[in-house]
Amino acid sequence: MVGPARPDDAIDADLLRATLIEREPAAARASTSIRMVRAPGRVNLIGEHTDYNEGFVLPAAIDLEIRIALVPTEDRRVELTLLEGGERGGFDLDSIPPKSGGWIDYVAATAWSLADEGLRLRGFRGILGSNLPISSGLSSSAALELASAWALLDPPNPSAHGIDKMTLARLAQRGEVEYVGVRSGLMDQAASSLGRVRTAMLLDCRSLEHRAIGLPLARHRLVVCDSGSPRRLDRSEYNTRRAECDEAVALIAARDPSVKSLRDVDVDKLIGARFALSERIFRRAEHVVRENERVLEAVDALEAGDLEAVGRLFAQSHASLRDLFEVSSPELDALVEIATSVPGVVAARMTGAGFGGCTVNLVARDAVDRLIEAIDREYPARTGRRARVLAVEPADGAGLVA
Ligand code: GLA
């Protein structure tokens, strides 16, 4: 697919608003109370499958996002329509139904979690527009949760409820874990909630301390390659991997009760416990332990401007996800191999949960077209699929659109 590095159009805010007024009598009657909320997807630079092990992650919110134009209502009913395709979903805030298997689950999950926290919610009629590819590993679910949270809160701002954006992220995550049943970590919601333009976020998933890390974007771009082999987290082996990490912790803690999570395990401790772990469980734990080290090394390298080191760490992370944690796919491996052979591609690895989805690449600005051409030339022949290449910019986290 040779072409612009950014084929996706921006979401047309006027169209979203006009469609809301056209479809929803409540919006036509009260057009001055219409508001718009947005929440971004994210790409993770490094630190994969570490968040639910209380480790480190380095995600960036990106300028692909979900927007909802909405009008609040008095009927305690949430009704949301997709701009593209017109599919409609809804539920009553006072009797939130069990999950149905569709996208509305993520809205209902967020409503359930916020209400369970005692936060005041209000029904609405809304139209949802998105330029964020779904089921691609760019956290469309977290974006839908955070956009829903901002749409549901009454008054429409977490600070008016005495909660900060990290708490909002945790509540959204709780909805996904307990209502949807995917035992995901906090990374995606934290990135979608707290992202900052031009930066990535180093997040310690144990203390929840976080800080913005500048990226070398004057001469480079972040490029996402979508493998075209979609993934559904709830059908994947994600929960199995999580259980394997828990098993490693239980076995290591039996000898050393100070160990509460893989965050408490370093390479020496892991090697010391080798005989207690099966070969498979050892590999899973080794990935997590070394990946945590790589995140901190990558932050040092970025701060020192050492892009060669960043490239090496991305390569090690990908190899570890492929060989030790076993969550890559032939498509993701092909994308990384092709990208790595292109002069000017500084770093490439799979991003997100894996099992399909996307790769993330740090690419010299003048090499983006070369990367697109190489993928267009080689990827279909190797995989029988077509990939989408998207240059993305780190963006601010969720909120009201002025
Ligand atoms: C998914 C989950 C995150 C994280 C990543 C893997 O995106 O939602 O919490 O575990 O996978 O790093």
Q: Which atom of ligand 1 is nearest to the CA of 49?
A: 12
Which of 57, 62, 140, 187, when mutated, tests ligand 1's pocket best, judged by the most ligand atoms within 8 Å of its CB?
Answer: 187
Provide the pLDDT for residue 133. 86
- CB 139 within 8 Å of CB 193: no
Choose among 6, 13, 377, 374: nearest CA to 224.
6
Task: Judge whether residue 359 has pLDDT over 60.
Answer: yes
CA atoms within 13 A on the CB side of 137: 32
What share of the chain has pLDDT > 70, as a percent?
A: 96
Q: Buried b vs exposed e over 139-157: b needs ≥16 C-beta within 10 Å?
A: bbbbbbbbbbbbbbbeebe
The separation between the first and the last C-alpha atoms of the chain, rounded to the nearest angstrom, is 35
311 CA distance to ligand 1 centroid (A)?
Answer: 21
327 CA distance to ligand 1 centroid (A)?
Answer: 12
Choose among 79, 76, 66, 68: nearest CA to 25.
79
Provide the pLDDT for residue 6. 53
* pLDDT tier, 136 (very low <50, low <70, confident <90, very high otherwise): confident
Helix runs in 46-139, H state only: 104-116
For residue range 142-164, what is the model confidence (pLDDT) as tens digits?
999 999 999 999 999 999 999 99
Q: Whose CA is nearest to atom 9 of ligand 1?
A: 185
Task: Judge whether residue 5 has pLDDT over 50.
Answer: no
* pLDDT tier, 235 (very low <50, low <70, confident <90, very high otherwise): low
Task: Judge whether residue 173 has pLDDT over 80.
Answer: yes
What share of the chain has pLDDT > 90, as a percent?
A: 92
Task: Judge whether residue 12 has pLDDT over 80.
Answer: yes
Which residues, including other chains, have CB under 8 Å from residue 145's CB and lie 6 or more apart?
39, 106, 107, 109, 110, 172, 173, 175, 176, 189, 192
Which residues, including other chains, have CB under 8 Å from residue 137's CB and lie 6 or more apart?
231, 351, 352, 353, 354, 356, 357, 358
Number of DSSP helices (H) and strands (E) in the chain, helices first: 12, 13
Provide the pLDDT for residue 215. 98
Can 188 be counted among the known catalytic residues? yes
| Residues whose beta carbon lies within 6 Å of some atom of ligand 1 | 44, 48-49, 51-52, 184-185, 187-188, 352-353
Q: Report d(CA 98, CA 108) in Å as an integer.
A: 9
48 CA distance to ligand 1 centroid (A)?
Answer: 7
148 CA distance to ligand 1 centroid (A)?
Answer: 20
- CB 153 within 8 Å of CB 93: no
181 CA distance to ligand 1 centroid (A)?
Answer: 14
Q: Report d(CA 252, CA 260) in Å as an integer.
A: 9
Q: Report d(CA 262, CA 205) in Å as an integer.
A: 12
Which of 49, 241, 320, when mutated, tests ligand 1's pocket best, judged by the most ligand atoms within 8 Å of its CB?
Answer: 49
* pLDDT tier, 237 (very low <50, low <70, confident <90, very high otherwise): confident
Catalytic residue (choose from 188, 264, 366, 369): 188
For residue range 262-302, what is the model confidence (pLDDT) as tens digits?
999 999 999 999 999 999 999 999 999 999 999 999 999 99
Separation of CA 226 from chain center: 14
* pLDDT tier, 233 (very low <50, low <70, confident <90, very high otherwise): low
- Strands 88-92, 210-214: pairing is unpaired
Q: Which residue has the tokens 């072409």?
A: 3
* pLDDT tier, 1 (very low <50, low <70, confident <90, very high otherwise): very low
Q: Which atom of ligand 1 is nearest to the CA of 141?
A: 8
Q: Which two tokens stand for residue 340?
A: 């790595």
Provide the pLDDT for residue 157. 94
